[in-house]
Amino acid sequence: MPLPPPAPLPPPPSRPLLLASTSIYRRELLARLRIPFDVASPAVDETPHLGEAPAALAQRLALAKARAVAARHPDALVIGSDQVADLDGQPIGKPGDHARAVAQLQAMRGRTVVFHTAVAVVEAASGRAWEAMATVKVRMRPLDDAQIERYLQLEQPYDCAGSAKCETLGIALLEAIESDDPTALVGLPLIATSHLLRQAGLDVLQEAR
């Protein structure tokens, strides 16, 4: 008896989905949801405002990134995200080079660092926007200078806020992680993102390929 034909694939989404980011980490995370999307650079100035709290900075930039791309693609649904590390209320950005990474890890060792990861979904055609925030508490080990130097030489995480990649060797720098959205620390909270997309009318399970 011949096998029945395969079930047809679901129709493509009615609106293009765009990720407003140049981050390879966010691109890889969003790909886990198995929904078609493209990437666009938001080209947003990420300089903090004077006295701006880390969580407020992350939230402002996530929305600004999504809106910047949505303005160029009014027919699309656009995801923007931003992460800011918070040590005692002060933002910790991407180190950019070895010396700054050393200084960041020395300041954080033996301490608890809070990572605020904001996500926004914008639909320019309707003017609607949906926002969420995931917060991760990370307790760092009391590392000595030699351990910090060895880690940085091996991984060179100079494009990561807080100078560590928890998804790879950076996990060895940590004592504990506390979060209700496990991918938030890497850069895109997928639970929150899926929720916002549902609010915007895109069901991830229906659109997955």
Q: Which of 38, 75, 82, 181 is catalytic?
A: 82
Distance of CA 6 to the CA centre of its chain: 36
Asked if 101 and 93 touch (Cβ cutoff 8 Å), the reply is no
Do 189 and 117 form a contact (C-beta atoms < 8 A)?
Answer: yes
| CA pair distance 197, 96, nearest whole angstrom | 32
Task: Please tell me what DSSP assigns to residue 126.
Answer: T
Told to judge if 86 belongs to the known catalytic residues of this protein, a careful annotator would answer: no
Helix ranges restricted to H, 73-124: 98-108
- Amino acid (one-letter) located at 135: T
Dihedral class, residue 63 (left if φ above 0, else alpha if ψ from -120 to 50, else beta): alpha
Q: What distance in Å separates the CA atoms of residue 120 and residue 20, rounded to the nearest whole number?
A: 10
Catalytic residues: 82
